[in-house]
Amino acid sequence: MPMRRTSFQSMGCPIAGALELVGDWWTLVIMRDVLDGFTRFDELHRNLGIAPTMLTRRLRELVEAGLLERSRYDTAPPRFEYLPTQQGKDLAVVIVALYAWGVKHSAAGSDQVVLTDQDTGDTIIPVWMDKSTGRRISAMNAAFLPGPHAEDFIQERLDPQLRTIRRQRAQSPRPADQGAIE
C-alpha cells in the first residue's frame, strides 16, 4: 500500500505552500532540465533515466500546477514539448540556490557541473541579496516573522518575544513535584 503524503497547504507558510507544488524530488530535476532547454519527452527521459510512465505523470502534474505548458511541435505522430511558464521560470532561483548549496555540502557532481552565464560563458557564484538594499544576506541574519494578515497560530508561532519567553521557561529549573519519582 503506497504511503500517503501529508499536505502542507493548511500551514499558512509560503515554504509549505511551495512544497505543495515542488516538494517531489523529481520536480526540481525535471524543472532543472526544462529550464536548461531540454523540453521534449525523449530528452528528459534520456537525461533523467526516469521510467516513461513516471515521467508522463510528473509532467502532467507540472502542467496542472502551472509550472509547465504542453505545446505540440509535430503532428504526425503528435509530439509535445514542455515549456516553462513564468511561474516555472521563477523557480530557477530556487534551483540555482539548491545548486550552490549542493556544491558546498554534497560531493555529488560538485566537480562535474558548473553554473555559467549563458551570454558570457563566465562561471557564476550565486549569492543571496536583498533586492531593496543590495545587501548580501545569510541564513544567520534572516528571520521569518508574521505578515500583516497572519492567522493567530502564525502570529504566535513566529512572534520573537514569545519565542524568547518560551526558551527561558524551558531552560529555567522547574520545582520538583511533591511525591514525584525521579
Strand partners, 68: 84
Summarize pLDDT for 105-155 with one digit per residue, the tens: 887 766 777 888 888 888 888 888 888 988 888 766 677 777 888 888 777
Summarize pLDDT for 13-47 with one digit per residue, the tens: 777 888 887 877 889 999 999 998 999 999 999 99
DSSP state string for 15-75: HHHHHHHH-SHHHHHHHHHHHTT--BHHHHHHHH---HHHHHHHHHHHHHTTSEEEEEEEE
DSSP state of 9: G
Q: Does domain 9-90 have CATH number 1.10.10.10?
A: yes
Rounded to 5 degrees, what angle do the CA atoms 80, 82, 84 make? 155
Please report, for the chain, the start and end positions of each structural domain, with discontinuous segments joined by +.
Answer: 9-90
pTM exceeds 0.75? no
Closest to 56 in 3D by CA, of 73, 74, 44, 38: 44
